[in-house]
Structure 1
Amino acid sequence: MRRNDFLKTLLALGAGASLMQRADAAGANLKMMIPANPGGGWDGTGRALGKALIEAGAAATVNYENKGGAAGAIGLAQFVNASKGDPNALMVMGAVMVGGIIAGKPPVTLSQATPVARLLSEYQVFVVPAASPLKSMKEVVEQLKKDPGSVKWGGGSRGSTEHIAAAMLAREVGVDAGKINYVAFRGGGEAVAAVLGGNVTVGGSGYTEFGEYIKSGKMRPIAVTSPTRLKGVDAPTLKELGFNVEIGNWRGVYAAPGITPEQRKALTDMVLKATKSAAWAQAVETNGWTPAVMSGPEFDKFVDDQFAALRAVMVKAGMI
Structure 2
Amino acid sequence: MENENYYDITIIGGGPIGIFAATYARMRQAKIQLIESLDQLGGQVSALFPAKKLYDIPGFSVIKGDQLISNLLDQNNQFKPDIFFNETVQNITKTDLGFSITTTKKKTYSRTIIIATGVGAFQPRRLAVENAEKYENKQLRYFVKDLQEFRGKDVVIAGGGDSAVDWALEIQTIAKSVSIIHRRDKFRALESSIEHLRKSNTNFETPYLISALDSADDKIKITIKKVKTDEKKELLADFLLVNYGFVSNNKTLKSWNIETDHNLIKVKTDMETSIPGIYAIGDTIEYPGRVNLIATGFGEAPIAVNSAMNKIHPDIRQAAHSTQLIKNFPELN
Q: Please state which band the TM-score falls in when normalised by the shorter chain.
A: 0.3 to 0.5
Structure (1/2) with the larger strand percentage = 2
Structure (1/2) with the larger helix percentage = 1
Higher-RCO chain (CA-CA 8 Å, sequence separation at least 6): 1
